[in-house]
């Protein structure tokens, strides 16, 4: 989450090191984690109960995701009803159907540009759990097909087709840049580690206590790939290393990063990360306005990042405690 805030507060090439310009890859890592976590929970539910309850799954996801998201949409609607002449009001009403239906990953959204990733997540939630429920034997072949199709997009093999059927703006869409590969890799990892034979094979290579450090170092090196364009092999390499890094963290309890990942501040950031993602752009905008008024030596993008991060965490904490948590208590009724 902090990498994404950095991406939206520190200008591109403000620092020369390539990795400092690639905070957007935080979304890729989130996709890998989401695909792994959701499918692991589904597979464990089937192992314990003999079946997957889609009703319970969708109830849990609805309670976690919808309330604060639609509350944010309602807040924007109220703002633009009170200020109909605001510069972005027309764009918001034009884009609202896409936000409401979680399809904004197929447009160039202007008012809520971060909603594209939420749309991709919701489409995954809508389509994949029924595959695990009703077509379990096809799950792995289908996810490999998704990866193959996504990589055809990533390597530019479908550029002409995308521009013909979606429009000349197709290649600038966020979903075309990231593709569904990260989520699919998370799903594939969940299946691999759920099977004893698969777990044993992966553990043989990544089960060492120092594995997170080694894979993490390789991931950081890959994220420092020179040049501006990461499409093709660089993006695929980074996403594969993200999946391997996640595997190295979950294969054993005792590893080199255990103490860091169990630190209370990081655990708290994990709990409030959804709210931080929803709110950070608008808080970052206010932080940039504030920092711009400071004397020149202090008015730096890094200071904007720090202010935006702290303020976003504070707002997300309040949202989580007083708005989201009372709703989340209902999730206990739908636990698998």
Dihedral of alpha carbons 48, 188, 59, 333, sign = positive
Q: For residue range 10-39, what is the model confidence (pLDDT) as tens digits?
A: 998 889 899 999 999 999 999 999 999 999
Tokens at 37, concatenated: 């976590």
CA nearest neighbour of 5 among 336, 320, 300, 305:
305
Domain boundaries of the chain, sorted by first residue: 2-179+256-334
**Looking at the whole model, is its pTM more than 0.85?**
yes
* Cα separations in angstroms, 112 against 138, 175, 273, 292: 36, 15, 17, 23
Per DSSP, the three-state class of 11 is coil
Residues 108, 228, 26, 158, Cα dihedral to 10°:
50
Q: Enumerate residue ranges in the chain where pLDDT < 70.
A: none
Which residue has 């709210």 as its token pair?
A: 275
Q: What is the pLDDT of residue 201?
A: 96
Q: What is the pLDDT of residue 303?
A: 93
């Amino acid at each position: 989450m902090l990498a994404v805030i950095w991406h939206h507060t520190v200008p591109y090439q403000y620092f020369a090191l390539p990795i400092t310009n690639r905070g957007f890859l935080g979304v890729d890592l989130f996709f890998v984690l989401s695909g792994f976590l959701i499918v692991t929970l589904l597979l464990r539910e089937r192992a314990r109960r003999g079946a997957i309850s889609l009703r319970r799954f969708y109830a849990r996801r609805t309670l976690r995701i919808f309330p604060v998201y639609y509350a944010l949409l309602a807040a924007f609607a109220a703002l633009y009803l009170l200020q109909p002449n605001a510069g972005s009001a027309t764009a918001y009403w034009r884009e609202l159907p896409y936000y409401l239906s979680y399809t904004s990953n197929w447009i160039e959204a202007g008012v809520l540009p971060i909603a594209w990733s939420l749309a991709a997540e919701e489409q995954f939630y809508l389509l994949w759990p029924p595959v695990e429920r009703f077509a379990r034997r096809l799950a792995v072949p289908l996810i490999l097909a998704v990866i193959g199709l996504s990589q055809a997009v990533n390597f530019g093999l479908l550029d002409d087709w995308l521009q013909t059927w979606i429009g000349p703006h197709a290649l600038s869409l966020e979903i075309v840049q990231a593709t569904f590969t990260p989520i699919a890799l998370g799903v594939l990892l969940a299946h691999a580690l759920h099977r004893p034979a698969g777990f044993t094979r992966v553990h043989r290579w990544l089960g060492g206590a120092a594995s997170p450090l080694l894979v993490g170092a390789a991931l950081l090196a890959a994220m420092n790939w020179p040049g501006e364009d990461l499409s093709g092999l660089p993006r695929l390499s980074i996403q594969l290393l993200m999946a391997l890094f996640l595997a190295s963290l979950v294969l054993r309890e005792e590893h080199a990063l255990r103490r860091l990942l169990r630190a209370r501040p990081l655990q708290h950031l994990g709990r409030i990360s959804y709210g931080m993602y929803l709110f950070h752009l608008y808080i970052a905008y206010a932080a940039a306005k504030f920092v711009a008024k400071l004397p020149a030596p202090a008015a730096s993008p890094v200071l904007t990042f720090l202010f935006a991060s702290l303020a976003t965490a504070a707002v997300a904490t309040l949202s989580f405690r007083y708005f989201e948590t009372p709703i989340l208590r209902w999730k206990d009724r739908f636990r698998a």
